[in-house]
Each structure stands twice: as structure tokens, then as C-alpha cells.
Structure 1
Amino acid sequence: MSQLTSVDAVFLNAETDTTRAHIAGLGVVDPATCPGGRLTAAALAGLISRRAHLAPRPLRRRLVQVPLGLDRPYWEDDPEFDPARHISEVTLPRPGDDEQLARLVAALHERPLDRSRPLWELVLIHGLAGGRAAVYMKVHHAAIDGVMAAEALAALLDLSPDERDVPADETAPQRAPGTAEMMRDGLLRMAGHPLASALSVVRSVPLLDDVPGVGSLPGVGRVARLARGVLGRREHPAADTPAAPPTPFNRPIGARRAVAFGELPLDDVKRVGRALGGSVNDVVMALCATALRTWLDKRGELPAGPLVAGVPISLRRPDRGADEAAEGNMTSILAAPLATHVADPADRFTAVRADMDRMKRRFTESGGWVRDLSALVPAPFAGAATKLALLAAPMTGMRPLNLIVSNVPGPQFPLFLGGARVLAYYPVSLVTDLSGGLNITVFSYDGTIDVGIITCRDLVPDPSELVDHLHDALGELTELLRD
């Protein structure tokens, strides 16, 4: 038996008519090595049926709500679980190009998941040019974080076209508590919430100057430093993160989405990093800074100061392994300046690398604020509080962040899904009024960096332009090596 954590519940409660809180991936595959040369929905349903239990949060689990909303929902195994009910097939019309695929994925990503069933959906897409196929799979963020998503994906993949043997599922089905037990536990938790909330306040006040949008408010830094002094905590490196400036993608988002994807050669990115003295992540962040600078400058919207990027950071510890799966989402956000205001490419890279180093050192001291703040409000009122925060942000002009930029390292060897070789894997994440109407997520796989960009279509109608700018940005940094 497991229950949503306070962070899980934030993602569940964050959904509105314009905000969808699921994350997804788009795998482009070559079905030539499948039985019969074709990947089918039936084959994928069988694969998931045999391996659903291997995912860190099993794919067969559904939500069970507590009566009257007295407590956070529970997870239980769906007694009628059938993977085929979650899988559909579509065929793109000719010519089956990437632009058609991107439009289809954007439309699929706009649709909410059915909360009466396990919170995932898979669409098998035929008709891509060159005999390719694609698999789009989305999972609700309340059920899974980025690391768990990668582990769930790994459970379905093989190292060759031949399916590996996996142990059978011998665990007893998990059931949620009965109604009376859920209500009793919910009332007890509400009675103890003032104490739990007080402890969360004690933990979170010293970290307030790390909360995006809050840390830049007058007096917050002084209060946080005072709290650290009273509690005897050592002072961490200064944040000096500016307020996020206004941009065209920091306006109220709508319900429509636009998607673009592309690839960058990983060897070139590594070569730039080695030559300029930075990591792959430093290069990725610098490329995003350059692409955004170009995009904003073309529109006459380039701010005089840096943008502020939210960078998701996993709080999972490698030594805990599968034990942490029951603890739900373990993700926080690092808010870092993105030096879009620096004109010289070399100076821009240096600024990005220095800012990321400084913010990562600070994050090691203060990364737990997401968990503590999410636990401040009792469960019966948490949903309303989350929605109020999302609604209030555009009305008050609050901009905690300009956008999300995420870099997920992946395997550097080919993988196979149901016998089909995975050619590329593009992440498709989420946008909100608080995080901005633009999200750039990259995933390194088999020698490439696969880029997935999702936007609010009302704010950034054609994100493929940003993919082009990323290529230009890499060329610009590569040119520095020749000078």
C-alpha cells in the first residue's frame, strides 16, 4: 500500500484547463527487426503486460481518492488492468515527415489522462518517412519523476531485437485501505498537521532565498540568513539570482501546445566542453542561452539582464535504489541565471559555466525546499491552494522562472523496443504559468543529444526555430576552437 506524497499531490492538483501535468517521451524506431517487420499495438500490450511490475511505480496502479478529500489519494493495483486499454494506433498521411509528427504529438499532449485508470497512455504512430514508426508515451507526473521515468523506460527496452527473459510478477496485488480506515487516518493526519507544518516551516524558512521568485523579494534573503544563524546552519554561497525578466513566453499560457525536436552530435558537444573547460551540461546550458538570445533578439525582446532558467534536479541517492520508489517524486528545482545578455560567445559560455557551478554548490545546501513547502498546507486545502497559486501568477505578474531547461543523460548504445531499434528518444515535458510557456529538455542517447521542446502555442507558435538556433549555437562554439 502506498500513498501520494505531498510533492506527488502538487502535480496532481496543478492540472487546470490550460495546464497538463504529465510528462512524455517520443521514441522514433525502425521496425525492420520486428517479427514480420512491423511493430504492433498487440506486441506492445503483451510486452507491457509482462513487464509492468518492473517499473519503479508499477504501470498497473491507479488512484483511489479519500472521501471528502480528507487526505492525499492512495495507489492500488487496478483489478481490471489491461495494457491494451491504454494503447492506440494512428497512421500519418503521406509524406509522414517530422513536422506532421510534431503536430500530432502536440495534439496528443494537450489531452488529459483518464484518472479512473492507471495514469499512462501510449500511442503507436505508423507512416513515418523511411519506413520508421514512433511511440509516444505519457505518464502523469504525480506517478513518476524524471529518474523513475527513465527506469520505467528501461524496464521495457532490450539490448537486442530478442526479448530478454524477466522474472514473473509474484507479488500480491496492492489494495488501498477501506473507506473507514482512509477517513480515520486522514482525520488523524489533519489533527497532527499543525505540528508537521511547524516542522516544515522550521526547515523551509532558512531556504526561502532559494525559492524561485520568492528569493528576490525584498527582505526574504535577510529573513533566511537570520533563520540560518538562529539554527546554527552554515551560510551557503550567495545566490545573486536576479528576478526573471519579462519575455514573450512569460505570459498567461493557453491550452494549446507546439512541439519540436532535433538532434545534436554528442561528440561535438563533448569536444567543446573539453576545449572550453566545461561539462556536457555546461555546453547544453550555453547552447540554450545562445538560442534564446537569438530568438529574443530577432523579435526585439532581448532583456538587458539574464534570463532565469529552472533546472530540475533529482534528490535520489544511488545507494537507496528501488527503496526510494515508494517515496514518490524526489525532484527539486535549481534556479540559475542564463547569460542571454552577454554578446560574446566565449564570455557567454564562461558566464553560464560559472553561474551553474555557483548554483550547484548552493543547491547541495538547500535542495529540499520543494518537499517542505509542499507539505505546509493540509491535504483538504492543498488542491485549492495549488490552483490558486497557478491562477494568481499571471494576474500578479509573478515570474519565478522564464523557462525550464533539463538535461537527462542516457545510454550510449542502441536499445530495442518490442524488437524495433530505437533511433531517437525525444523528451516532451510540461509548461505552466509559474515555470513559463517554454520547456527545453534534452536526452543523450547512442551518440546524439536528442532535443525535445514544448511550448504554449499561443506564445511560441514554432519552436522548431529554436532547434535551428541550437544548431547554430553549437556551430558558433565550435568555431571558437578554430580561432
Structure 2
Amino acid sequence: MVNRLSPDEAMFYFLDGAGTSAHLGALLILDPNKKTRRPGAELDYNALVSLVENRLQTAPRYRQTVTEVTLGLARPVWVDDRDFDINFHVRLSALPQPGTVEQLQELIARVMSRPLDRTRPLWEMYLIEGLSGGRSAILTKTHRCMLSGHAHLELSEVLCDDVADRDPLADDLWMPGRPPGNTSLTLGALAEAMARPGEVVDSLLRGNGPVADLWSVADKSARLVGDAVSQMVNAAPDSPLNTVTTSSRLFAFASVSRRDLEAVVGKFECTFNDVVLAIVTGVLRRWSLSVKDTVGHGETMRATMPLSARIPDTVEGEASGAWIITGGTEFVTDLPVGEDAPAVRLMQVAGLADRYSQSTRRMSQGFRPLLPEIGLVPFADFSTRAFAGIFQRSYNVPISMSSKRIDRKYVDGIPVTGIFTIPTLATQRALGISVNEYANQVQFAFIADRAVVVDLPAMAGYVTESLEELLAGGQSAGRDH
């Protein structure tokens, strides 16, 4: 029995193309100087390789490749990599002295600009030495098709522990399975295709079977196309952030004190995520003023973000172990970048997000394959990109925001002092933003097309400036440019 990619996984696999690489990642900052229950803990390259090998038994997909089926007769399949080489995937890098944040950001930008090798398991990891203060970093890079729900975690989440002294997992000898041949895959795909008409008839006559209900399939497809048309009609404002993109990236990150954000929450009696969105809006306002002379008073940018960040399933601030957000319902909201008064901007952000998070017209399931129950995928790469293009103007910038605080983490006994998520940069999106609450910090990460957002590193400074103006009580953000 072959292990076939799900419809969503196959869609992300085929999204790779010119200007688009459907991978994401995480940056972990490690500080061995912090107090830990394992004094003298160190993490060199060999120790990291051993740790990854030990943890891969909980994530078997990281030792599998994607094999396509002849003529697209069915979705691709996961196949064990018989030539798996851990040293190809786990790599060592070092920053030149003095190991600054700017040097780290540039290294990450170069790594994230390169596509993954599709003949191997679709991930890479880098141990980056030489950060100032004796620190190091781990960068993970994983194709989006590898991640589907809670069953398949990103490798940075697999490596991290809640305690410093976790014992290694028991050794588990891995032996790759026998790969299916092309003839076997083709015959299996044809057998599935020939069986599907019977499944459809069974669904129509009895209301059961794998397809479940043909009418529900048609209805979902009609609603999906209807949603696409609605989003095209209600297009986002014109922005250089919606343009033909290249594969060259820039990366930047910044941290601010959670206590400072809580002070703003108390001052304006709003929610924590209202303040986060207001900071993002301030960053985008400053960036807009850096690329053009003026920003109109009523000007907005349109953002998409997880609905769970607005309406969390659990109490806000509850600790969680996850920071890679994939899937789930999203909603589209407007960010009032044209408002120069920070206090007014915060209130507008809160009001718009409250309104749109309750509006079915502003809900989005993100990219989803058409007719997901159907297995045939001829010209899948073309159709996937064409369908993604339908949504190219529905929003300007995606924001990945966790709904829960991440508790303190360790890698092989060494404290993690920073966790920054690196989002996927989709086609015709020149900027992606992620926000994590980790320990006592709120951590922002930005990835952008180098040809479009040439001054991305400045956004890290804009985060601090946007927070400071809110703490100051609402002085104008627009008159300092």
C-alpha cells in the first residue's frame, strides 16, 4: 500500500516555481551561558547530528522523498530514501567576527533563497556558530508539503524540549523500505482511477463510500470558486507587495519585551493581539513612507492571519509547544497605515479585526486544491499555480501569528533564547511576517523578496519604534519622516 500525498500536501509540492519556493523554517538562538540544569552543556556539529538522528524516529517523513506518478495519474507518494545521508541535511556554518545580527540575517536570507533538492528528503538544517557573546543558532528549512496538522511537526519543534535534562530516545534501527517501481505506481494509479466511478455511484445511491457525496464535492467546488470571485471583486489595495517575485530573499527579525506590550494593553484596555497588530501596522506605515513621499490618511493594507490568533481555542497566553502554524481558517483584515496617530491607529486596528473576524465574507481557508477527493492530477503543477494566481490580489501581506505563548525550550540541554518563524513566501507576495510569543519576549520575523523590499532590515528597527510610540501615549507617527 503506497503512502500517497494528501491533496493539500500535493498542492504545496507543486507550488514550487519561478519566484516561489514553498518552504518555511525556524531560527533558534541558543545561549550556553544561560543557567541550566546541565552545567557545561555544549552543542557542536557531531552532537547535533546525533540528536537529529535520535529524534527522526518520531518524524519518519524526514527520511522520505516525494516520487511523482507517470503522467500525473495520481498524487505523488512518500518513499523511503534508500541513500539517506544525515550529513547532507545537517550542515555547519559560521559567521565571521564579530558575529552580528546583520551577518546572521544575511546568511539566513541566502539559505532561504535556495530551493530544496527535490531528489532528497525536503529539508535542511544549519548549525550556525560564531554569534556574538558565545551564542549559536539553528536554522531549519522544511518544505511545506512535509507538514500537515499535528501529525507532522517541523523539525525545530521535534528537536526542542521543555526541560534541560531530557534523556535520549531509545535507539531504533531504521531500515528503508523497498521503493515501488514506476510500473507498480502506474498500475496502482490506474486501478484507483478505474475504481473511482464505482465509488461515485455508490455515493449517489447509498450515501456512503470514500467520496462520501458527489453533490457535496460539487457544492464545495462551487463555493470555492465563488469565494475566489468574491475575493477578486473585493481586491486588496494596490501595493508593490503584490508583484511578480524572484527567488532572492531578505530576512530580518526583532524582539521586544512582552511586559511593554502588556503596558500598552493596560493603557488602552485592548487585547494583546490588538497591540501586536498595531505594531505591525506601524511597521508597514513606516515602510510605506520610506518608499513614497506621502501616505494618504485613509490608506490601508490588507492582511490575512489565522482566525485562532483572534479567537483562540484556549485562554490567551497559555503555554504551547508549537510555533509553526499551518492550515486552519484565516481571515482578512485591513490595517490603517494611513492613520498617523498611534492611539487612533490601535483603536482602528482593534475595531476592524473584531468586525472582520466575525464576518463569513472575510473568512479564508487559504490555498486549497479544487475537487480534493479526486486523485488524478494531470498538469498539476500548472493548475496549482494558476489557481493560486486567482487569489494574488485578495490581500497584500500574510501574517503568521500564534494564539498561544511558547514556554521555555531547550536543545540538548542548552537554553533557547529566541524562536523566530520563517514563513513561506507565496507567489506574487513580496513580504511575509510572523509573530511569536516566547518566554518574556514577543518576536517578529520578516522575509521578503530582495528585489522589492530592498530595505527589509530597517523593519526590525520599525518594530521598536512602533512600540515606543504606543508606550508614549499616542504621539504622531507620521510627522517624524
TM bucket by the smaller chain? Answer: 0.7 to 0.9
Output the CA distance in 2 between the equivalents of 1:267 and 1:136.
27
CA distance in structure 1 between the partners assigned to 2:10 and 2:183 by the alignment:
21
Task: Please name the residue that 2:381 is paired with.
Answer: 383
User: Which residue in the other structure is 2:277 paired with?
Assistant: 285
Q: Which residue identity is paired with 2:381?
A: G
- Looking at structure 1, the residues matched to 226 and 344 of structure 2 have their Cα atoms a distance apart, in angstroms, of 27
**Pairwise CA distance, 1:255:** 1.9
**Contact 1:143/1:329, CA 8 A, preserved across alignment:** no
Matching residue of 1:223 = none
In structure 1, which of residues 194, 203, 206 is the aligned counterpart of residue 220 of structure 2?
Answer: 203
Verify: 1:41 aligned to 2:6, yes or no: no
1:264 maps to 2:256: yes
Deviation by residue 1:422-456 (Cα, 9 ceiling, x = unmatched):
1111111222334x200110111111111110000
Question: Which of 387, 401, 417 lines up with 2:395 in the alignment?
Answer: 401
Query: 1:14 — aligned with what?
Result: 15
Q: Counterpart amino acid of 1:46?
A: S
Amino acid at match of 2:126: V
Match of 1:420 among 399, 414, 427: 414
Mapped pair 1:458 → 2:446: no
**Does residue 1:355 correspond to 2:340, yes or no?**
no
Q: Does 1:477 find its partner at 2:467?
A: no
The amino acid that maps onto 2:220 is R
Q: Note if contact 1:54-1:152 (Cα within 8 Å) is conserved in structure 2.
A: no
For 1:175 and 1:314, the matched residues in 2 are separated by 41
Distance 1:371 1:189, change over 3 A: farther
Mapped pair 1:346 → 2:363: no
Quote the Cα distance in structure 1 between the aligned partners of 2:346 and 2:369.
34
Q: Do the aligned residues in 1 keep the contact of 2:22 with 2:143 (CA within 8 Å)?
A: yes
Q: How do residues 24-103 of structure 1 correspond to structure 2 at under 5 angstroms?
A: 24-32=25-33, 38-55=42-59, 58-103=61-106
Partner of residue 239, structure 1: none
1:125 aligns with 2:155: no
Q: Deviations over 1:67-103 (max 9, x none)?
A: 2321111113333434222111111111110101100
Asked whether the equivalents of residues 201 and 376 of structure 1 are also in contact (C-alpha less than 8 Å), the reply is no
Distance 1:386 1:243, change over 3 A: same
Deviations along 1:237-291, one digit per CA (max 9) or x if unpaired, are xxxxx52112222221112111111102122223323443433322211211121
Identity %: 28
Alignment partners' CA distance in 2, 1:352 and 1:318: 21
1:31 alignment partner, SS class: coil
The amino acid of 1:246's aligned partner reads D
Q: Distance in 2 between matches of 1:273 and 1:146?
A: 32
SS where residue 215 of structure 1 aligns? helix
CA shift in 2, pair 1:329/1:467, >3 Å: closer
The one-letter code of the counterpart of 1:50 is N
Is the 8 Å Cα contact of residues 200 and 373 (structure 1) preserved in structure 2?
Answer: no
| Residues 291, 469 of structure 1: 8 Å contact kept | yes
For 2:64, the aligned partner's letter is: R
The count of residues paired between Structure 1 and Structure 2 equals 442
Is 1:431–1:439's contact at 8 Å kept on the other side of the alignment? yes
Alignment of 1:222-371 (within 5 A): 242-298=234-290, 299-300=292-293, 302=295, 304-312=298-306, 330-362=327-359, 368=365, 370-371=367-368
Report the 3-state secondary structure (helix = DSSP H, G, I; strand = E; otherwise coil) of the residue aligned with 1:385: helix
How far has the Cα of 1:418 moved from its partner? 2.1
Shift of 1:164: 2.4
Q: CA deviation at 1:313?
A: 5.3
Per-residue deviation, 1:306:
2.0
Match of 1:134 among 128, 137, 144: 137
Letter in 2 for 1:40: D
CA distance in 1, matches of 2:343, 2:313: 35
Letter in 2 for 1:65: E
Cα deviation, residue 342, structure 1? 3.1
One-letter amino acid matched to 2:420: Y
Please report how far the alpha carbon of residue 45 of structure 1 lies from its aligned counterpart in structure 2 after TM superposition.
Answer: 1.1
- In 2, Cα distance between equivalents of 1:452 and 1:350: 24
In the TM superposition, residue 381 of structure 1 has moved relative to its aligned partner by 2.2
Is the contact between residue 53 and residue 59 of structure 1 (CA under 8 Å) also seen in structure 2? no
**In 2, Cα distance between equivalents of 1:165 and 1:129:** 29
Q: Does the 8 A contact of 2:54 with 2:168 survive in 1?
A: no
Counterpart CA distance in 2 for 1:469 and 1:441 is 15
Gap regions ≥5 residues in structure 2: 201-210, 315-324, 476-481
What is the SS of the residue equivalent to 1:27? strand
Check the 8 A contact 1:147/1:314 in 2, yes or no: no
Offset of residue 137 of structure 1: 0.7
What is the RMSD of the two structures over their aligned residues, measured on CA atoms?
A: 3.5
Q: C-alpha separation between the residues in 2 aligned to 1:177 and 1:336?
A: 47
Shift of 1:15: 0.9
Shift in Å at residue 371 of structure 1? Answer: 3.5
On the 8 A contact 1:7/1:329 being kept in 2, the answer is no
Equivalent residue, structure 1, for 2:433: 440
What amino acid does structure 2 have at the position aligned with 1:215?
S
CA–CA distance in structure 1, aligned partners of residues 361 and 262 of structure 2: 25
Instruction: Tell me the TM-score normalised to structure 2 length.
Output: 0.81
- How far is 1:22 from its partner? 0.4
- Within 2, Cα distance between the matches of 1:368 and 1:310? 11
Letter in 1 for 2:452: L
Q: 1:215 maps to what in 2?
A: 230
Gaps of 5+ in 1: 219-241, 320-327
Q: 1:330 to 1:295 in 2, by over 3 A?
A: closer
User: Could you report, residue by residue, the CA deviation over 1:343-387 in whole angstroms, capped at 9, with x for unpaired residues?
Assistant: 332332222222222333335996557446373884122211123
Q: Secondary structure at the match of 1:59?
A: helix
Are residues 343 and 358 of structure 1, via their aligned partners in 2, closer, same or farther at CA, if it must alter by over 3 Å? same
Pairing 1:112–2:120 present:
no
For residue 419 of structure 1, what is the amino acid of its counterpart? G
